[in-house]
Amino acid sequence: TKGRVLNFGAGPGCLPEEVLITAQNELLNFQGSGKSIMELSHRGKEFTKVIEETKANLKLLLKVPDNYDILFLQGGATSLFAGIPLNLCDGPSDTIDFLVTGAWSKAAYNEAKLYTKANAVIDMESSKFLSVVNPAEWKFSEKPAYIHYCDNETVHGIEMPTNVYEYTPAGVPIVCDMSSNFLSKPVDVSKYGVIFAGAQKNAGIAGITIVIARHDLISRSKPNVPNVFNFLKKSQQNSLDNTPPTFNIYITGLVLKWLIKNGGLEAADKRNQEKADLLYKTINESNDFYCCYIDEKYRSKMNVCFRIKGGDNDLEEKFFKQAEQNGISDIKGHRSVGGIRVSLYNAMTLQGTEILINFMKKFMSENK
């Protein structure tokens, strides 16, 4: 649409235009109710249908087994850095094992320490989060309450392989922060105890956190876990014990319908792989004009981080400026890392990615 730019932001990220148009069309009068979705009771028949459909479509897309429940929470993924230890641990003497592979798993590790013991199985900060130690060398503690890792480190551009569970001790639940690659590819939910994700990258807008948790872990929640985080209470009341972020759930519902219409997660994975391959190929073949320092085995398909000429700040500034003039927006790396970060979430098209790549090639030829 005229006036809209190519948004490569890391989150809140781009949404499918179709979703925005549907939301716009339905804004004043939601499906004949005479009210907007934002003005409807969370217990009324219209919203009940929205939340049920949204849950059912998440179940369908991710093939969520019957012994799991889907919860909608508020407070962002960050709230669960406290919420999950509170729900799943018995008390301060429990230990949680963390794979610290970037800023977000580190944040979760640091917050868990306020409630219980936290053990860093690996901590990649000393090598600037550019790689991950070989799984054969991961050392888990004796009896962890669970293992936490982040599937895709949004700030550092590190994405874990899909088979992490093959390297963790049998019987220990795995808790996975999938905030920035949720719904980007198929996932075997049965391998996880809890999967959680803020919606604002691939699944909607900021303000809703999606939790997929196994029933036996949900039932670990004790009554003194605050209601807003309490997995058991949320599950028993279908996330409607208090007013949920209704508009946000509605937008997630629209995103899920868009995903299903476009071939589900297998098709999304294929599109994402193609976009990421094209971009990394451009970087790899640029003769070090563009350089990605991240271990090839762990390069994220969602957040592609790279530098120009080994970190030439002036040239990078020029790159950002010219990109903006070409309708390419939000490609600045996280302030703690610098450089460039291009996020290729589900809603970014192949065509948009190709426009960026052509710009990169032109910029390279003019600034070699």
| 182 within 8 A of 143, measured Cβ to Cβ | no
Give dist(CA 322, CA 92) in Å, integer: 52
Binding mask 242-281 vs ligand PMP (x if CB under 6 A, - otherwise)? ----------------------------------------
* Binding-site member from 77, 122, 132, 328 for ligand PMP (CB under 6 A): 77
Stretch that binds ligand PMP, among 175-183, 229-237, 310-318, 323-331 (CB under 6 A): 175-183
* Nearest distance from C-beta of residue 184 to ligand PMP, angstroms: 12
Query: Is 87 or 179 the residue whose CB approaches ligand PMP more closely?
Result: 179
Q: Which one from 55, 104, 301, 332 is the annotated catalytic residue?
A: 104
* Nearest distance from C-beta of residue 150 to ligand PMP, angstroms: 5
Told to check if 150 binds ligand PMP by CB under 6 A, we report yes
Stretch that binds ligand PMP, among 70-78, 212-220, 242-250, 261-269 (CB under 6 A): 70-78
Stretch that binds ligand PMP, among 1-9, 19-27, 176-184, 291-299 (CB under 6 A): 176-184
Give the footprint of ligand PMP on residues 102-141 (CB under 6 A). Answer: 104
* Nearest distance from C-beta of residue 182 to ligand PMP, angstroms: 9
Give dist(CA 339, CA 317) in Å, integer: 9
Stretch that binds ligand PMP, among 12-20, 71-79, 221-229, 281-289 (CB under 6 A): 71-79
| 159 within 8 A of 302, measured Cβ to Cβ | yes
Told to check if 305 binds ligand PMP by CB under 6 A, we report no
| 170 within 8 A of 180, measured Cβ to Cβ | no
Query: Is 40 or 339 the residue whose CB approaches ligand PMP more closely?
Result: 339
Pick from 206, 194, 184, 189: nearest CA to 273: 184
Give dist(CA 353, CA 342) in Å, integer: 9
CB-nearest residue to ligand PMP? 76
- Residue 177 among the catalytic residues: yes
**Surface-to-core class of residue 180, CB atoms within 10 Å of its CB (0-12 exposed, 13-18 middle, 19+ buried):** buried
Number of residues that bind ligand PMP (CB under 6 A): 11
Q: Give the list of residues 6+ apart from residue 60 with CB closer than 8 angstroms, or none.
A: 260
Told to check if 173 binds ligand PMP by CB under 6 A, we report no
Told to check if 330 binds ligand PMP by CB under 6 A, we report no
* Nearest distance from C-beta of residue 231 to ligand PMP, angstroms: 17
- Cβ atoms < 10 Å from Cβ of 147: 25
Q: Give the list of residues 6+ apart from residue 186 with CB closer than 8 angstroms, or none.
A: 62, 63, 265, 266, 269
Told to check if 211 binds ligand PMP by CB under 6 A, we report no
| Cα→Cα distances 219→63, 235, 244, 272, Å | 22, 9, 21, 36
Query: Is 179 or 282 the residue whose CB approaches ligand PMP more closely?
Result: 179
Told to check if 177 binds ligand PMP by CB under 6 A, we report yes
Q: Which one from 94, 177, 269, 330 is the annotated catalytic residue?
A: 177
Residue 257, classed as helix, strand or coil, is helix
Pick from 195, 219, 223, 247: nearest CA to 70: 195
Told to check if 157 binds ligand PMP by CB under 6 A, we report no
**Surface-to-core class of residue 66, CB atoms within 10 Å of its CB (0-12 exposed, 13-18 middle, 19+ buried):** exposed
State CA 348 to chain mean position distance: 15
* Nearest distance from C-beta of residue 155 to ligand PMP, angstroms: 7
Query: Is 333 or 359 the residue whose CB approaches ligand PMP more closely?
Result: 333
* Binding-site member from 85, 198, 204, 245 for ligand PMP (CB under 6 A): 198
Query: Is 78 or 329 the residue whose CB approaches ligand PMP more closely?
Result: 78
Q: Give the list of residues 6+ apart from residue 335 with CB closer than 8 angstroms, or none.
A: none
**Torsion angle in degrees (nearest 10) through CA of 120, 122, 125, 126:** 110
Residues belonging to the active site: 104, 177, 201
Q: Which residues would be at the binding site for ligand PMP (CB under 6 A)?
A: 11, 76-78, 104, 150, 154, 177, 179-180, 198
